[in-house]
Amino acid sequence: MSIVTLELAQSMGLSESELMDRALAAFLQEQRRTVLQARLELLARYEVKTVEELSTKIEEALVPEHPAWEELIVAENLDARLEELDAYLHNGSEEKVTESYISDQPPTTLREFCHFVWQILRTEAQERK
């Protein structure tokens, strides 16, 4: 890598590889958060929680077909992107995988996400002791 990366890793008590792994994980988690937020905002415009609910509303003519069909495609693509990011975030280590549920309500989602991050940071701090 670079001298700066090596110095930063050493100052944090990490190997360069650990620093890069954590940086990549943080980047992927931020990407996931951004995609999830976009998905939630799109679905909220139609007062639905899932892509399937939006599709049903379109089929039953409960929402205008245009732009709902286009936004349905966007929502499906956002779901696919979330699955892709989740696959990248999962490193194959089953002991580190935990089942989770994230609410479709943005304030609740943010609170749950912050609690999740707090738990990870607390665990990492305890492991360093």
Q: What percent of the chain has pLDDT over 70?
A: 81
Q: Give per-residue pLDDT as tens, 28-64.
A: 899 999 999 999 999 999 999 999 999 999 999 999 9
Phi, psi of 13 (to 5 degrees): 75, 30
Contact in structure between 59 and 123 (CB atoms under 8 Å): no
Q: Give me the residue label for tokens 């990407």.
A: 31
The Cα 68–Cα 54 span in angstroms is: 8
Is pLDDT at 88 greater than 90 in this prediction?
A: no
In this prediction, residues 9-17 reach a mean pLDDT of 86
User: Which pLDDT does position 23 carry in this prediction?
Assistant: 87
pLDDT band at residue 79 under the 50/70/90 scheme? very high
Contact in structure between 46 and 57 (CB atoms under 8 Å): yes
Contact in structure between 109 and 40 (CB atoms under 8 Å): yes
In this prediction, residues 118-122 reach a mean pLDDT of 77
Residue 126 has which token pair? 């305890």
The Cα 25–Cα 127 span in angstroms is: 18
What are the domain boundaries of the chain?
Answer: 3-89+103-128
User: Which pLDDT does position 70 carry in this prediction?
Assistant: 97
User: Which pLDDT does position 100 carry in this prediction?
Assistant: 53
The Cα 10–Cα 84 span in angstroms is: 32
User: Which pLDDT does position 118 carry in this prediction?
Assistant: 75
